[in-house]
Amino acid sequence: MKYSDISNRRVDQRLKRRQRAERRYRLYGQVAITLALLFLLMFFASIITRAVPAFYYHRVNLTLELSPKVFAGRQGEPLPRKITERQAKSLMEDAIALELGALAQRERLRRALIAPLAALELKQLLEKEAEVRHRLGDRLLLPFVLNSAGENCIRNACANSAEVDDFGLSEGQRQALSILHKRGLITRHFNLVFFTHSDSRSSESAGILGALLGSFWALLIAFLLAFPLGLFTAIHLQEFAPRNRLTYLIEVAIYNLAAVPSIVFGLLGLAIFLNWWHLPRSAPLVGGMVLALMTLPTIVVASRNALAAVAGGIRSAGLALGASRVQVVFHHVLPSAMPGILTGTIIGMAQALGETAPLLMIGMVAFIAQAPLSPLEPATALPVQIFIWADHPDPAFSSRSAAAILVMLVFLIVMNSLAVILRRSFERSG
């Protein structure tokens, strides 16, 4: 029986073909992974490129003359204490005219370029500073926030050639803006408003503060409810539960809850918490309660695994010393299992942070311009805000939606890395 025997020759003949098949097999796997990673890349690239514009905005810096004409006073008189918005507006219009030469349409130009809020801000600024130093006839260099049409025009380098662009800017208005831009009067600033304001009708003053607070309250409630409930459930099932029908029922219920679509939890919240218990609609309290029920299975499963991983010797040792079973669990088993339990809880909370659908059901999807100061006030949540803005036809809002996504992803990354660090440090010490 030498190597050259018939069967071996046949094996060798087939070998080339089989090796090709093998390479093909490998290739499929590589293609699959490349596709998935490519998507991930595309995903982040597109969201980041969309989000970046939301993080800055432009101001036009205009020289404002506190002209006596506007205030019906004389040169050198102190500024009046009360200023009307009308007066602030005409000051701004004068400033535009000063920069661009006498323009017939300066009011329309102001409306087209400068944010509606700017007049109010100017009024407040001047009133605040009235007693300090300004007198009629002074000249001040002040920044004004561009409105979305002007902002959009600057971002596109005023390059639109249409008669009237998508935001209603005429050719002349665009030219005016372009002149201001060339003279270096338009400057770019970090959009702090995005973090300090809540939702708004106008994109320049829309921020995520309210949504963040709403999410915070909802998560706080969810944590306060789900953590003790989940932990106690896990302890009961893992340490005390007798093997009977009821225990089996509890286990099945938890397994089932983990797989119930999130929107069904929303229906539950709507039917029970709102319509039956008459809890306030749109409140983070209810959102938190729904999220707590959703994260319950995650926390229970993680806690059970952590408890199961604690060496049985600890229990016997505790019992042998005369401690009761409850004492053994709370004095010895639970402390060792705590890192695992906390890891699971953090992961559960991270899931809850991104959950949107059930919050829609309980009315946390509304235009709410006020940041909620307690969990009973109407609020949105971060993911819901993303949803609301993504639907908005104005690209400035969808850009803010992408920016809010980035903020949410940052929170998720922080939470998940916290979980990973906790798990690692536990693995090292234990």
Minimum distance from residue 154 beta carbon to another protein (Å): 22
Part in contact with another protein (CB under 8 A); list of ranges 112-120, 155-163, 205-213, 236-244: 236-244
- Hey, which residues between 312 and 371 contact another protein (CB under 8 A)? 324-327, 330-332, 334-336, 338-339, 342, 350, 353-357, 360-361, 363, 365
Is there binding between residue 7 and another protein (CB under 8 A)? yes
Is there binding between residue 43 and another protein (CB under 8 A)? yes
List 98, 250, 301, 319, residue binding another protein (CB under 8 A): 250
Q: How far apart are the C-alpha atoms of 148 and 35, rounded to whole Å? A: 38
Cβ neighbours around 185 below 10 Å, total: 16
List 218, 265, 400, 403, residue binding another protein (CB under 8 A): 265
Is there binding between residue 167 and another protein (CB under 8 A)? no
Minimum distance from residue 99 beta carbon to another protein (Å): 37
Alpha helices by DSSP H, 52-185:
68-71, 85-100, 106-113, 117-129, 148-155, 171-182
Is there binding between residue 308 and another protein (CB under 8 A)? no
Q: How far apart are the C-alpha atoms of 219 and 289, rounded to whole Å? A: 9
Which residue's entry shows tokens 């939702």?
199
List 213, 345, 401, 407, residue binding another protein (CB under 8 A): 401
Number of residues forming the site for another protein (CB under 8 A):
123
Q: What values do phi and psi take at 75, rounded to 5? A: -50, 135
Is there binding between residue 182 and another protein (CB under 8 A)? no
Which residue's entry shows tokens 């918005």?
85
Residue 10-39 contact track with another protein, rule CB under 8 A, x = bound: xxx-xx--xx-xx-xxx-xxxxxx-xxx-x
Part in contact with another protein (CB under 8 A); list of ranges 148-156, 162-170, 200-208, 231-239: 231-239
Helix (H) or strand (E) holding 63: strand 56-65
Q: Looking at beta carbons only, is 150 or 339 nearer to another protein?
A: 339
Q: How far apart are the C-alpha atoms of 284 and 371, rounded to whole Å? A: 12
Q: How far apart are the C-alpha atoms of 367 and 378, rounded to whole Å? A: 10
Is there binding between residue 424 and another protein (CB under 8 A)? no
Minimum distance from residue 209 beta carbon to another protein (Å): 18
Minimum distance from residue 253 beta carbon to another protein (Å): 4
- Largest Cα–Cα separation, the chain: 121
Q: Looking at beta carbons only, is 137 or 280 nearer to another protein?
A: 280
Cα angle 99-105-108, degrees, rounded to a multiple of 5:
100
Is there binding between residue 105 and another protein (CB under 8 A)? no
String of DSSP letters for 218-287: HHHHHHHHHHHHHHHHHHIIIII--SSHHHHHHHHHHHHHHHS-HHHHHHHIIIIIITTT-PPTT-HHHH
Is there binding between residue 268 and another protein (CB under 8 A)? yes
List 122, 270, 307, 396, residue binding another protein (CB under 8 A): 270
Part in contact with another protein (CB under 8 A); list of ranges 57-65, 88-96, 173-181, 296-304: 296-304
Is there binding between residue 248 and another protein (CB under 8 A)? no
Question: Around 86, how many Cα atoms within 13 Å sit in the side-chain half-sphere?
Answer: 3
